[in-house]
Amino acid sequence: MKKLIPLLLALTLLLSLGSAAIAAEGNSHTYTDSDNTTLDQTITTKIPDNKILWHLEIPAEVVISEGGVEGFQDVKNVKIVIDSGELTDGQKIEASMTYDGTMTMETDDSVQLAYVLSDKTLFNGGNYDDTLETGKAYIVGTKTKDDDTYNAPYAWVLSGEWDMAPSGSYAGTIQYTSELVEANG
Amino acid sequence: MKKILSFLLTLALLCGLGVTAFAEEDTPSTKGKQAVKATVTGDPSWVLVIPADQTIPYLTEETDIVHDDCEINNPKHIPAQSTINASLVHTGVFTLGADTSKTLPFKLNAFGKEVAAGEKVIASQYWSDTHDNQCYNEINIVISRSAWEGADGGVYTTPVTYSSELVSGIDDAADGAPRPVEP
């Protein structure tokens, strides 16, 4: 009997994992020509009871100086500003950032210039170990009831990219978003 | 008598040779035809898969809801020159679970154009002639900052309702964008 209990528990876990995987793919229905069945996708959102409102102050544009890693620039910190309400214990606002690593020439968007962002805390003068992955979200700011922490990256262009790029002005975009995170989910 | 018998035997031989010659006309050919027949039975059918339930983070103003997951799969016996349309409709408001009289309004946009509450918009299509399946992923929910600010605290939900139907004709939009469906 003692051996059976762990087996049953493991089986239950596997079955629940299986149904969770099915749920993640959404519902499905087999239709025939005259079938009028409908399927519902439920969209849910939660507004916290303490109704805190905030906005992000996005730093001004960053201009990377020509000349390889020595031209690196501080992207500068995004700032989380509370408009109304107060964060409670267990609540925090996280600001995150993504980038695609590409600037395009302002007069010809088919011409591109690659750039990288490096984690400032790991930056050691242009080593790819400190480079942030493109398309991946990184937390660059956290605000709690008592504290704010920010960690803007550096931006720079590899020497080889400078050399290969046609002359002109290039521009790219760093995307920021923020969300309220509650300890109890 | 012998002459008659001889004549009859010769005639019988000639007739026999003639029959043989007719029978052998098709046999030595290097070409030929053989009929192949089959009968397909069964009503048209297909599987519609809709996107998973989704949670929108608080204060998020724009959220994609389709994500390429509205799929028409496993089509069977679909007539030529026909299209399967999968469509969605929405209510335009989230309702508070604890008090459904309290709402959070939203707009649903398809390819940058607002789709009114109750209006059907195509989210996915399958074309029989090309066996091509197109999911439209630029369908999103927009909740304005002022709507967030005006709503009470709590958990809100809204259904996005999907259906599908087989229609005659290849309804292949030139711009690839979903369009309202005629009621």
**Which stretches of chain B score pLDDT less than 70?**
1-26, 171-183
Among the partner residues B46, B143, B156, nearest to A44 by beta-carbon distance: B156
Instruction: Considering only residues A1 and A93, tell me which one the structure prediction assigns the higher pLDDT.
Output: A93
Contacts of B59 in chain A (CB under 8 A): 53-54, 178-180
In chain A, the residue whose alpha carbon lies closest to the alpha carbon of B62 is A177
Mean pLDDT, rounded, for A38-47: 96
Please give the DSSP secondary-structure letter assigned to residue B11. Answer: H
Six token digits for residue B28: 């030595």
Model pLDDT for residues A90-146, shown as the tens digit of each residue: 999 999 999 999 999 999 999 999 999 998 877 777 666 688 999 999 999 999 999
Residue (of B63, B91, B70, B86) closest to B159 by Cα position? B91
Count CB neighbours of A84 within 10 A: 10
- Helices first, then strands: H and E counts in chain B: 2, 13
Distance from CA of B115 to the nearest CA of A (A): 17
Distance from CA of B118 to the nearest CA of A (A): 14
Tell me what pLDDT residue B1 has.
Answer: 54
Q: Answer whether B62's CB lies under 8 Å from B82's CB.
A: no
Q: How far apart are CA A152 and CA A76, in angstroms?
A: 5
In chain A, the residue whose alpha carbon lies closest to the alpha carbon of B148 is A47
Count CB neighbours of A7 within 10 A: 9
Residue (of B83, B169, B180, B90) closest to B134 by Cα position? B83
Where are the extended beta strands (E) located within A28-152? 28-32, 39-47, 53-57, 73-74, 79-84, 91-99, 102-105, 108-114, 116-118, 138-144, 148-150
Model pLDDT for residues A4-26, shown as the tens digit of each residue: 555 444 444 444 444 444 445 68
Tell me what pLDDT residue A2 has.
Answer: 52
State the DSSP H helix or E strand holding residue A177, giving kind and residue range, or none if neither.
Answer: strand A174-182
Tell me what pLDDT residue B175 has.
Answer: 45
Contacts of B69 in chain A (CB under 8 A): 25-26
Model pLDDT for residues A45-71, shown as the tens digit of each residue: 999 998 899 999 999 999 998 887 788
Q: How far is CA B56 from CA A44, A85, A125, B131, B176, in A?
A: 6, 21, 40, 34, 27
pTM equals 0.73
Q: How far apart are CA A130 and CA A136, in angstroms?
A: 14
Contacts of B83 in chain A (CB under 8 A): none
> Is residue B59 less than 8 Å (CB to CB) from chain A?
yes
Four-residue CA torsion sign, B167, B170, B176, B177:
negative
Contact A28 B47 (CB under 8 A): yes
Tell me what pLDDT residue B141 has.
Answer: 96
| Residue extents of the structural domains in chain B | 46-168
In chain B, the residue whose alpha carbon lies closest to the alpha carbon of A24 is B52
Model pLDDT for residues A75-93, shown as the tens digit of each residue: 999 999 999 999 999 999 9
Among the partner residues B43, B57, B152, nearest to A179 by beta-carbon distance: B57
Q: What 3-state DSSP class applies to B97?
A: coil
Q: How far apart are CA B125 and CA B164, in angstroms?
A: 9
CATH code reported for the domain at B46-168? 2.60.40
In words, the CATH class of domain A53-182 is mainly beta
- What end-to-end distance do the CA atoms of chain B give, in Å? 97
Residue (of B108, B48, B124, B150) closest to A31 by Cα position? B48
Contacts of B163 in chain A (CB under 8 A): 36-39
Where are the extended beta strands (E) located within chain B? 45-49, 54-56, 62-64, 71-76, 82-90, 93-96, 99-105, 107-110, 113-115, 121-127, 132-135, 139-142, 154-168
Contact B161 A51 (CB under 8 A): no
Contact B155 A45 (CB under 8 A): yes
Model pLDDT for residues A154-168, shown as the tens digit of each residue: 999 988 899 999 999
Q: How far apart are CA A102 and CA A106, in angstroms?
A: 12
Residue (of B67, B176, B64, B181) closest to B127 by Cα position? B176
